[in-house]
Every structure is written in C-alpha cells, then in structure tokens.
Amino acid sequence: MALKGALIAPYEDLLELVEYLKRRRKWNLEVVLGDLFEGVKIARELVEDGVAFIVSRGGTFELIRKAFTEYLVRGGRVPIIEIKVDAEDLLQELSSLRRDHGQMALAGFENVIRSYRGLARFLELPLDYVVFNDPEKVEELITQAAKRGVEFFLTDTIGSKVARSLGLKARLIRSSDRAVIEAVEMAIYLAETRGFSGTIAEGGAALPGRAREELADRSYSYFVPKIRAREKSSVPPEVPTVARFSFEDIVYSSQIMEQVIERARIFAATDSPILITGETGTGKELLAHSIHLASSRRKGPFVTVACGAIPPSLLAAELMGYSGGAFTGARREGRIGLFEAAHGGTIFLDEIQDLPLEVQGMILRFLQEGEVRKLGENRVFRLDVRIIAASNRDLLSLVRERKFRQDLYYRLNVLNLHIPPLRERKEDIIPLAFHFLRLYARQLNKDIVRIAPEAQEALLTYDFPGNVRELAAIIERAVLLCNGSEIKPQMIELPTIKTPNNYFVERNDSTGQLPVYFSGPGNYNENLRGIRPLREVEREHIVKVYQATGGNIKETARLLGISRTTLWRRLKEYLLL
C-alpha cells in the first residue's frame, strides 16, 4: 500500500484543486485546510498519526519548516515539501497588472518572494517588497507599505486578508496544477526512497543536519528527473501514459447520461474492446479515461492516439514501432510503438475512422491474436492491451462505403457506448455551465459566482452543435468579458447575430452555409437599417476581447481564432499599438 502523506492548504481554492488532483492521480493523501499557526498545529497532529510526509505552501510552509527543523520522528525526519508559486503564472499576473494598477508590492514570507526579485527586475517593474517574518506584524508592514505609496499587493493568504481588511487592493498568488503535482510527487519519492528526510524549499534552503550537507545545492531541478524516473518505463518521453479523469469528474444531471455512465462502469470491469460513439465535443475521451481508472488496469498506462492527427504514412510506425534502419529517416536505435507503450494498460484510439485500411488490418490482427510486429522485424510479440476506440462518424455507413473494414467493426463493437449530443440532454447544460464558470473564474482569478437567469435561458434555447466543448468556450469567453460577480445575458455570445429589426444570420448545421432570414417588418432597406460596416464591427470586437484579456496577445488571438501575427497587424492598423 502506498505511503500516506498530508497536504495542508492555506486557502480553500487550493484545497479544492488538490482534492481534484488527488482523485485524478490516485494519491494516498489527506488534504486539510489550515493557515499559518493553525497549519503548524495540524502538521504536528498528522505526524503523530504517522503520515509519511507533509506538503504546504507560502507562510504556512515556512512556519511548519521552522517548527519541524529539529522534530524527530522514528529516528528520522518527515519530509516537508513546499509548493512553489509558478514563475510563469506570476509573470502573467505581473504583466497584466502593470497596465491597470499604480505602485505594486510583492508581499509574503521570504520563501514566497525570494525567487521573483530577479524576475521583476527583468520585467523592469518598479516593485516594492514587503517581507513577513512574523504573522503578528503583517498588518503593520502592509500599513507602512501603503504609506510609502503602494496601491496594490500581490501576496499570500494572510497578506490578502489583511490588505483587504484595510481597504487596500490585493491579489492572492495562487499555485498552479503543475506546482502542486511536482511538490506532491517529490514528497512521495522522498518518502518512498528514504533518500532524504527534512525540509526542502526552492533553491534547497532550510535543509537540517546531515541533509543540509548532502543536498545544499539540490533544488527542485535535482529531484524532478528522479520523480519522472519513478514513473518511467520504456515509453518514449513524449507519450503521455496517465489517465487524467475519473467518473467523478463527469458533470451531468440527466437520466440519459446516468444510464451511459452506469453502463460504462459495468464495461470497465471487463477486458473486452469498447466502441464509444458520439458527436464531436460530447466527451468521448473523458469517458475513456474514466473507464480505464475504474478498471483492473488502472495502475497500468493509458495511451491516447488521435488517429486523425498522425499522417497516414506514419501511423503504422507510430502504432507498432520499428527497428533501427527500418526505413529512411528511422532512428538508429529504433522505437517502441504506442501499443507496446500501453502494455499492461489501455490504448484509446480516437477518431478510429481515420485509420487507413492497411493499418486497420494491423489493429484487427492484434484484436484476434494479441500480437504486433514492428516495422523492419520478422518476429511478432504478444502484448496485454485493452482497446477503447471512439468515432464521431457512423462506422456502419463507412463499412457500406468500403472505407472501414467490416470485420474490424464487429471486433471493436463488442461493447458499445453512445454519448448523446448536448441538445438531447438539456438538463446537463446549466450544471456544466456552472462547472466551467468555477473552473475559468479560478484560472482567471475572478470572483464570479452566478449566471443570470436570462443568461441561463439563452443557453437552454441554443442547440450547441459543438456540444460540451462549445459550451466550455462560450463560458470561458463570458468569464473573460465579465467584470462583476454575475454572468449577464450580453456576455453569452452565441453564434447568432441580431439587429433591432430581427434580421439575423445563423449557420446551417447540416451544410455549414450561412442562410439569411428576414423577419422584421417593412421593405429591404428598412430591414438593413442598423447594419454597420464589417470593419467597424471587427474593430469593436477585437478591442473588446483585447481589453477583456488585459492586453494578453496570445489569449486574445486564441479567443478570436486568428494568429498572433494577424492580431498584431490589426492592432497596429487600428492604432492600438
């Protein structure tokens, strides 16, 4: 059984994030809410209860570190690991705030702000620094900074609470998913190997006793390769082999989805192939991840293959692997295939209808014999891999058109799951909308908690041809445009343009064309009244999105669906740069 550890979260958003990651990555981890001295008290109790490691962040980590520097447990010290504040996230925070705020200060315990002094200098930001050494003196230090002219504080949990209580502006520096995963995985590695006992923060600071001598120069950069090696097999490093979602991550309230998930749970207990069908954006991959994590193969790899994203000429080599010199351009040492990478686990073949017929024959052979043969080799070898396939097309129609092998279809379609489109399960729209609202509000550091009833009604009247993926994009855009605590109807931008005369243009889902409808009274000229030049509408929309993202070029271009080069050109053309 895996060693049990504990993570002490100073704020609720971090608690929720860790609970989510805990389920996804199957950590044996107790997650507790506790800030500063309360966190120290909790840490002592957890260690007495026998936890193998402690993870925390910010001032709470710093106080725990000091309290445990000489705290012996069973002849050794429990590893105490810090969750770093991600430099990339902080860089984005600083870059966006520079335009909107006056004098800023980075405030927190020394371990929080130590690494970012150089980063701020690189950005040429006139940052003040407020270093906390004693939680009792935080209010005094922030008050002094305000008197020096500081208007905005980037800070930790206690700094944010105190600043706001004094009527000052503050933003909490949050930890990213990546930082949490690295810290917990490091803690697990250290606890399992017993190669280190003590505390480690960024830069290798605060290592007590013998550990200080051995690891004084070893920071996260030293441990991360070892963490990776802990999970590593012969899988190529660029192939992700971990399922990220479970059934608990699927958001729904409709009876039809409950039936799909109940059926999927039953199928998870078998090793038979599964075929998942459904329109684009319905969540086929999410369901495949969940089936794997609910199966007896959960500890094995989960390899996803986007069949339509790999050039047909390379598919056989990618799936089956090849020996050195098998073809021009092949690696000298050869390469294992994705099926071999999935040995002992599950391979998910997404968009399986895009497989060339010759590759379909290879998949059929594996389903029948459990064997694969690398390109350039004569021998075959057996693998233990379960296949889950998915398609957004009618495979039987492709069989009739001789574009998909009939024998492969029947071998794959042993167990079938069909995910209905969102328009056929309207009960799921609002729960999903609130799920994405919470997700993007947290990512964008916004305090948005509601969707206005009129906005909900607008969502319920739309058919969502792009299904859940389209709904997620609509809510993400609404969160970006929202400056208050509630999503308003005008922020729900659906693909229908209306004018005061009820003239509108709507995409035809079956043909992809844009038919025009006139329902307003009067003649042609009256119906066109209020229509503005395309250039004017385009400029207004670009400016709106650009301002909503705080001037973030990359995010603006992504939301608009254009390249950054095109966006730069438009912004210069409109004299915005």
Contacts of 504 (CB under 8 A, 6+ apart): 496, 497, 498, 517, 519
CA of residue 171 relative to chain centroid, distance: 22
Longest dimension (CA), the chain: 90
CB atoms within 10 A of CB 558: 16
Compute the distance between CA of residue 362 and CA of residue 412 in angstroms, rounded to an integer: 13
Query: Which of 46-60, 117-131, 407-421 has the least mean pLDDT?
Result: 117-131
Q: Are residues 329 and 376 in contact, defined by beta-carbon separation less than 8 angstroms?
A: no
Nearest CA to 261 out of 242, 248, 271, 273 is that of: 248
The dihedral sign for the CA sequence 493, 498, 499, 500 = negative
Three-class SS of residue 106?
strand
- Cβ(73)–Cβ(121) below 8 Å: no
State residue 294's pLDDT score.
92
Does 285 have pLDDT greater than 80? Answer: yes
Encoded tokens for 241: 């082999």
Strand-pair partners of 56: 82
107, 137 in Cβ contact below 8 A? Answer: no
Q: What is the pLDDT of residue 226?
A: 44
* Domains observed in the chain: 5-84+177-231 (3.40.50.2300), 87-172 (3.40.50.10660), 247-418 (3.40.50.300), 435-570 (1.10.8.60)
Q: 564 falls in which pLDDT band (50, 70, 90)?
A: low
- Radius of gyration for the chain, computed over Cα atoms and rounded to the nearest angstrom: 28
Full-model pTM: 0.50
Judged against a pLDDT cut of 80, whether residue 83 lies above it is answered with yes
Cα separation, 506 vs 494, in Å, equals 10
Instruction: Using the predicted structure, report yes or no on whether residue 534 has a pLDDT greater than 80.
Output: no
Q: Please choose, from the candidates 302, 29, 3, 1, the residue with its C-alpha nearest in 3D space to the C-alpha of residue 180.
A: 29
**pLDDT digit string, tens, across residues 169-194:** 888 777 777 778 888 888 887 777 65
CA angle 273, 274, 280 (to 5 degrees): 145
Q: What is residue 420's three-state secondary structure?
A: coil
pLDDT in tens, 193-219: 654 444 444 333 333 333 333 333 333
Q: For 451-478, what is each residue's pLDDT tens digit?
A: 999 999 999 999 999 899 999 999 999 9
Cα–Cα distance, 52 to 3 (Å, whole number): 6
Supply the pLDDT for residue 273: 94
Alpha carbon distances (Å) from 103 to 94, 150, 180: 12, 5, 30
How many Cα atoms occupy the beta-carbon half-sphere of 147 within 13 Å? 6
Q: What is the mean pLDDT of the segment spanning 277-304?
A: 92
Q: What is the mean pLDDT of residues 153-180?
A: 82
SS3 sequence, 28-66? CEEEEECCCHHHHHHHHHHHHCCCCCEEEEHHHHHHHHH
pLDDT at 217: 35
Residue 317, CA atoms < 13 Å, CB-side half-sphere: 18
Q: Name 350's bridge partners.
A: 306
Task: Give the count of alpha carbons within 13 A of 505, CB side only.
Answer: 6
> Residues 27-43: pLDDT tens digits?
888 888 888 888 888 88
Task: Judge whether residue 255 has pLDDT over 70.
Answer: yes
Identify the band that residue 505 occupies on the pLDDT scale cut at 50, 70 and 90: very low
Q: What is the DSSP letter of 282?
A: S
> Taking 80 as the threshold, does the pLDDT of residue 280 lie above it?
yes
Q: Evaluate if residue 113 carries a pLDDT over 50.
A: yes
Write down the pLDDT at residue 320. Answer: 86
Using 50, 70 and 90 to split pLDDT, how confident is the model at 97?
low
Query: Per residue in 333-388, pLDDT tens?
Result: 667 889 988 888 999 999 999 999 989 999 999 998 888 888 877 778 888 999 99
| CB 92 within 8 Å of CB 119 | no
- In the predicted model, what is the mean pLDDT of the chain? 77
Q: What is the pLDDT at residue 346?
A: 94
Res 239 pLDDT > 60: no
